[in-house]
Amino acid sequence: MAENFEPHHILVTGAAGFIGSNFAHYVAREHPEVHVTVLDKLTYAGNIHNLDGIPEGQMDFVHGDICDAELLDRIVPGCDAIVHYAAESHNDNSIADPEPFVQTNVVGTFRLLEAARKYDVRYHHISTDEVYGDLALDDPERFHEGSPYKPSSPYSSSKAASDHLVRAWARTYGLRATISNCSNNYGPYQHVEKFIPRQITNVLCGIRPKLYGDGKNVRDWIHTEDHSSAVWTILTKGEIGETYLIGADGEKSNIDVLRLILAHMGKAADDFDWVRDRPGHDRRYAIDSTKLRTELGWAPKHTDFESGLDATIAWYRENEDWWRPVKEATEAKYAKQGQ
């Protein structure tokens, strides 16, 4: 077991986005002695208001790009850890235009690794289970830390490349680094382009939800607060150079999730439209988080998916001012793609 690491000042990249902002709130709430510097480019997926409520003295916000080496030279010194969430992450966007994914996810990670090496800062890398490709629907297997990499989209291949960079910097340069690969997150502050908030906000807007392909694709869902607690556990207790998979045993098919949303929002089970499948649509993701649970003692708290979904629906009902400004443009983009 590694000695516990006690950070005092962490740089969190991409913390104006969905899972990054939830992590910043988690640290502020659970570890008020820790100062957070947020670095975010504020692309369409970032919203500075996602950080509202974090005490002013506990957080600094820097508007900038992780690819900017000079900027990193100014803000990394004085931090004792980098937690790297910043990423282009939407599969459909990566298929339409892969270049930003390579730039942010590969080049940006390289810049952060070099800064962490230069200033001897601990580094935790947030990745995805999508680097492992997909599993057959009838396969009893789940992804684990030794699963081979088989990314299938420009997004997942760019994240796979960044994972390999982290391992190389840890082995070659002795960088104090850890990696986590997580399953699909849900919860507050998620952009309306993503599956669960898109369906919820469609219902709230009186638009019929849409479902890709046959709807049998399986995702392994985890509440974003459980992801945050797992990342903190790995950052403070994880073994240097190790990878940990984060999951909460939440496998559900897309059609089952959609029907749960419809039921919880008072709609009929068939009140949606089928649309053509997206290219290379992964069939099933499933995470085996045994290593994280047994070696570091982590466990998820949000194990009842339906109650977590209810709370998420309630959040989108109560925060229309947050998502309505981007809803119309998001749906217009999908309509152009026939989705």
Would you name the residues annotated as active-site residues? 129-130, 155
126, 182 Cβ separation under 8 angstroms? yes
Is residue 7 classed as helix, strand or coil in its secondary structure? coil
Q: What are phi and psi of 185, to 5 degrees?
A: -90, 150
Rounded to whole angstroms, how far apart are CA atoms 50 and 63? 14
Determine which helix (DSSP H) or strand (DSSP E) holds 13, and give its type and residue range. Answer: strand 9-13
Is residue 330 classed as helix, strand or coil in its secondary structure? helix
| Neighbour-count burial for 272-300, b at 16+ CB within 10 Å, e otherwise | beeeeebeeebebbbbbbebbbeebebeb
Determine which helix (DSSP H) or strand (DSSP E) holds 191, and give its type and residue range. Answer: none
